[in-house]
Structure 1
Amino acid sequence: MSLATNSPAHSSSSDDFAAFLAVDLDSHSSDSSPDEETEGDNNAESVRIKRRKVEKLENSEEDIMHEVEEQSLEVLSKQQLCSHPGSFGNMCIICGQRLDEESGVTFGYIHKELRLNNDEINRMRNKEMKELLQRKKLILVLDLDHTLLNSTELRYLTVEEEYLRSQTDSLDDVTKGSLFLLNSVHTMTKLRPFVHSFLKEASKLFEMYIYTMGERRYAFEMAKLLDPKKEYFSSKVISRDDGTQKHQKGLDVVLGKESAVLILDDTENAWTKHKENLILMERYHFFASSCRQFGFNCKSLSELKNDESETDGALTTILKVLKQVHHMFFNEVSGDLVDRDVRQVLKTVRAEVLEGCKVVFSRVFPTKFQAENHQLWKMVEQLGGTCSTELDQSVTHVVATDAGTEKSRWALKEKKFLVHPRWIEASNYFWKRQMEENFTVEQTKVEQTKKQ
Structure 2
Amino acid sequence: MTKDACTHPGSFGEMCILCGQRLDADSGVTFGYIHKGLRLENDEIVRLRNTDMKNLLRHKKLYLVLDLDHTLLNSTQLIHMSPQEEYLKSQTDSLQDVSKGSLFMLSFMHMMTKLRPFVRAFLKEASELFEMYIYTMGDRAYALEMAKLLDPQREYFSSRVISRDDGTHRHQKGLDVVLGQESAVLILDDTENAWTKHKDNLILMERYHFFASSCHQFGFNCKSLSELKNDESETDGALVTILKVLKRVHGMFFDELEENLVDRDVRQVLKTIRKEVLKGCKLVFSRVFPTGFQADNHLLWKMAEGLGATCLKELDPSVTHVVSTDAGTEKSRWAVKHKKFLVHPQWIEAANYLWQKQPEENFIVNQTKNP
- TM-score, structure 1 normalization: 0.81
Instruction: For CA contacts below 8 A with separation 6 or more, give which structure has more relative contact order.
Output: 2
* 1:238-276 per-position Cα deviation (integer Å, ceiling 9, x unaligned): 000000000000000000000000000000000000000
Structure in which a larger fraction of residues adopt helix? 1
Question: Where does residue 368 of structure 2 map in the other structure?
Answer: 444
Specify the code of the residue in structure 2 equivalent to 1:328: M
Question: Where does residue 180 of structure 2 map in the other structure?
Answer: 256
Distance 2:289 2:133 in 1: 37
Specify the code of the residue in structure 2 equivalent to 1:419: V
The 3-state SS of whatever aligns with 1:180 is: strand
* 1:20-63 per-position Cα deviation (integer Å, ceiling 9, x unaligned): xxxxxxxxxxxxxxxxxxxxxxxxxxxxxxxxxxxxxxxxxxxx
Question: Where does residue 97 of structure 1 map in the other structure?
Answer: 21
Aligned-pair CA distance for 1:102: 2.6
Distance 2:129 2:48 in 1: 20
* Bigger radius of gyration: 1
Question: Where does residue 217 of structure 1 map in the other structure?
Answer: 141
Aligned length: 371
Moved more, 287-296 or 250-259: 287-296
The 3-state SS of whatever aligns with 1:445 is: coil
Distance 1:156-1:101 versus aligned 2 partners, 3 A rule: closer
The 3-state SS of whatever aligns with 2:279 is: coil
Deviant stretches of 4+, over 4 Å: none
Aligned-pair CA distance for 1:160: 0.5
Residues 1:107 and 2:52 aligned together: no
The two structures, once aligned, show a CA RMSD in angstroms of: 1.0
Residues 1:300 and 2:195 aligned together: no
The 3-state SS of whatever aligns with 1:346 is: helix
Distance 2:97 2:359 in 1: 40
Please point out which of 312, 328, 339 is paired with 1:388.
312
How do 1:24-35 and structure 2 match up within 5 A? none
Question: Where does residue 397 of structure 1 map in the other structure?
Answer: 321
Distance 2:4 2:294 in 1: 58
Question: Where does residue 338 of structure 2 map in the other structure?
Answer: 414
Specify the code of the residue in structure 1 equivalent to 2:222: C
Moved more, 226-235 or 102-111: 102-111
Specify the code of the residue in structure 1 equivalent to 2:197: K
Question: Where does residue 215 of structure 2 map in the other structure?
Answer: 291
Distance 1:233 1:133 in 2: 18
Aligned-pair CA distance for 1:446: 4.0
Question: Where does residue 75 of structure 2 map in the other structure?
Answer: 151
Distance 2:163 2:255 in 1: 34
Distance 2:278 2:362 in 1: 16
Distance 1:417-1:252 versus aligned 2 partners, 3 A rule: same
Aligned-pair CA distance for 1:101: 5.6
Please point out which of 351, 356, 359 is paired with 1:427.
351
Aligned-pair CA distance for 1:103: 2.0
The 3-state SS of whatever aligns with 1:128 is: helix
Moved more, 201-210 or 390-399: 390-399
Question: Where does residue 376 of structure 1 map in the other structure?
Answer: 300
Please point out which of 233, 249, 273 is paired with 1:349.
273
Specify the code of the residue in structure 2 equivalent to 1:135: H
Aligned-pair CA distance for 1:389: 0.8
Please point out which of 101, 105, 111 is paired with 1:177.
101
How do 1:12-411 and structure 2 match up within 5 A? 78-100=2-24, 102-411=26-335
Distance 2:354 2:99 in 1: 26
Mind listing any 5+ residue stretches in structure 2 that lack a counterpart? none
The 3-state SS of whatever aligns with 1:444 is: coil
Question: Where does residue 12 of structure 1 map in the other structure?
Answer: none
Distance 1:101-1:88 versus aligned 2 partners, 3 A rule: closer
- TM-score, structure 2 normalization: 0.99
Moved more, 359-368 or 200-209: 359-368
Aligned-pair CA distance for 1:189: 0.6
Specify the code of the residue in structure 1 equivalent to 2:348: I
